[in-house]
């Protein structure tokens, strides 16, 4: 089959690789209906050291189950499923706690150990715990939004939950990428009264407004902090969703939280330490977050997607076949595209 293989920073190729097979009796194989390129795929795209064997990329997909191993009980051939970006057994103590990204038998797709989903098909370890069956074939118009439940929508929701968004709260979203935009949807869905997005790309800001953003802050650093304070009676916001992962974004996130507020961070950090320790301490700001257990959130978010109450699929502004994936990476890296969907 054909798959997306990254060999080093900027070197993304579409190649023929062996078809995925059932290896463990708990595996399934799915035929990929839609996959996509993630903002976090841009970190290796910018930094990856050369690898002889390369890495089959992609950790977000929806598709149809093609084959299941002998011990798979709940997933069957022909099921239309959502593949969360992490696989998990669904039975360990962390899965029971709803933190499947810490599953003791789990791991992540698109790594050197487990091949990714920017491909025609993908092997799913621990299929019963990992896959979420949507039912029969989904409506074509819903495909993009269903795909976001494999990562970005669940990740934006996680940021909002960790930042303790509840009805009537003021919220700021740092970052206007696909996750930040989904964070706006999540904040609105959870009843936030004021939603400030920090971003500067006109197309993304327009979408953020459609999703429920009430205020736009295009400044950076201290100027952004001043502006958010002005918009919140001088205090800052109750909840901050940090959806970037860079030091400056984290500093901004902590500086715009009001005393006693919370920062939910889901941007993959590019530093070893959390900046803003001193203001976070003196303002009693809670800082939390990490890889979103999107598997746990599908059940809650899916009905709103199916009913059309939320349309996170609108974050996709470009669709490519597998041959277009290398250019899709480039387009996202150049901020030409918000998020690229792949139809293998
Ligand atoms: Zn587990």
Distance CA 170, CA 158 (A): 17
Residue 70 — pLDDT band, cuts 50, 70, 90? very high
Q: Are 181 and 211 in contact (CB under 8 A)?
A: yes
How many Å lie between the centroid of ligand 1 and the Cα of residue 118?
25
Q: Looking at 151-220, list the stretches that DSSP marks H as alpha helix, in order from N- to C-terminal side.
A: 152-162, 178-189, 202-211
Encoded tokens for 180? 């930040």
Distance CA 311, CA 318 (A): 16
The mean pLDDT of 97-120, rounded to a whole number, is 96
pLDDT tens sequence across 269-323: 888 888 999 999 999 999 999 999 999 999 999 999 999 999 999 999 999 999 9
How many Å lie between the centroid of ligand 1 and the Cα of residue 104?
5
How many Å lie between the centroid of ligand 1 and the Cα of residue 105?
6
pLDDT tens sequence across 81-92: 999 999 999 999
DSSP conformational letter for 331: H
How many Å lie between the centroid of ligand 1 and the Cα of residue 93?
6
Distance of CA 290 to the CA centre of its chain: 11
Kindly report whether the global pTM for this prediction surpasses the value 0.85.
yes
pLDDT tens sequence across 23-46: 999 999 999 999 999 999 999 999
3-state DSSP assignment of residue 11: strand
How many Å lie between the centroid of ligand 1 and the Cα of residue 174?
31
Q: Are 254 and 263 in contact (CB under 8 A)?
A: yes
Region of 245 on the Ramachandran plot (φ > 0 left; ψ -120 to 50 alpha; else beta): left
Encoded tokens for 176? 């206007």
How many Å lie between the centroid of ligand 1 and the Cα of residue 103?
4
Distance CA 331, CA 319 (A): 11
Beta strands in 248-330 (DSSP E): 257-265, 286-289, 318-320
How many Å lie between the centroid of ligand 1 and the Cα of residue 237?
35
Q: Which sign, positive or negative, has the C-alpha torsion 160, 164, 168, 174? A: negative
How many Å lie between the centroid of ligand 1 and the Cα of residue 89?
4
Q: Are 114 and 125 in contact (CB under 8 A)?
A: yes
| C-alpha to C-alpha distances, 15 to 6, 70, 148, 328, nearest whole angstrom | 10, 30, 26, 16
pLDDT of residue 136: 58
How many Å lie between the centroid of ligand 1 and the Cα of residue 225?
40
Comparing C-alpha atoms, which of 229, 165, 175 is closest to residue 198?
A: 175
How many Å lie between the centroid of ligand 1 and the Cα of residue 151?
18
3-state DSSP assignment of residue 98: coil
Q: Are 232 and 170 in contact (CB under 8 A)?
A: yes
Residues measured by CB to lie within 5 Å of ligand 1, the ion: 88-89, 92, 95, 103
pLDDT tens sequence across 115-170: 999 999 999 999 999 999 997 566 888 999 999 999 999 999 999 999 999 999 99
What is the average pLDDT value for the chain, to the nearest integer? 96
How many Å lie between the centroid of ligand 1 and the Cα of residue 207?
36
Rounded CA Rg of the chain:
20
pLDDT tens sequence across 247-282: 999 999 999 999 999 999 998 888 888 899 999 999
Q: Are 218 and 236 in contact (CB under 8 A)?
A: no
pLDDT tens sequence across 166-207: 999 999 999 999 999 999 999 999 999 999 999 999 999 999
Comparing C-alpha atoms, which of 275, 219, 266 is closest to residue 242?
A: 266
How many Å lie between the centroid of ligand 1 and the Cα of residue 88?
5
């Amino acid at each position: 089959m054909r798959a997306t293989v990254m060999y080093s920073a900027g070197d993304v190729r579409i190649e023929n690789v062996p078809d995925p097979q059932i290896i463990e009796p708990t595996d399934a194989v799915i035929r990929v209906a839609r996959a996509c390129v993630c903002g976090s795929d841009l970190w290796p795209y910018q930094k990856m050291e050369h690898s002889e064997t390369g890495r089959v990329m992609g950790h977000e997909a929806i598709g149809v189950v093609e084959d299941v191993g002998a011990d798979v009980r709940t997933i069957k051939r022909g099921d239309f499923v959502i593949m969360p970006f992490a696989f998990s057994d669904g039975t360990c103590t962390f899965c029971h706690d709803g933190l499947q990204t810490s599953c003791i038998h789990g791991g992540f797709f698109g790594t050197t150990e487990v091949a990714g989903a920017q491909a025609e098909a993908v092997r799913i370890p621990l299929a019963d715990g990992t896959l979420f069956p949507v039912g029969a074939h989904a409506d074509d118009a819903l495909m993009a939004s269903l795909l976001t439940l494999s990562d970005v929508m669940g990740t934006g929701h996680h940021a909002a939950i960790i930042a303790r968004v509840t009805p009537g709260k003021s919220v700021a979203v740092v970052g206007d990428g696909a996750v930040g935009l989904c964070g706006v949807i999540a904040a609105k869905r959870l009843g936030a009264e004021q939603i400030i997005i920090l971003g500067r790309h006109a197309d993304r800001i327009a979408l953020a407004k459609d999703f429920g953003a009430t205020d736009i802050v295009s400044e950076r650093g201290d100027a952004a902090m001043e502006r958010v304070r002005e918009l919140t009676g001088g205090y800052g916001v109750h909840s901050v969703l940090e959806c970037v992962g860079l030091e400056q974004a984290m500093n901004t996130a902590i500086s715009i939280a009001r005393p006693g507020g919370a920062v939910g961070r889901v941007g993959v950090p590019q530093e070893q330490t959390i900046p803003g320790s001193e203001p976070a301490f003196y303002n009693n700001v809670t800082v939390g977050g990490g890889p979103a257990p999107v598997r746990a959130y599908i059940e809650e978010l899916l009905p709103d997607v199916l009913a059309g109450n939320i349309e996170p699929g609108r974050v996709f502004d470009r669709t490519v076949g597998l041959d277009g994936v290398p250019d899709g990476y480039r387009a996202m890296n150049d901020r030409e595209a918000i998020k690229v969907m792949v139809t293998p």
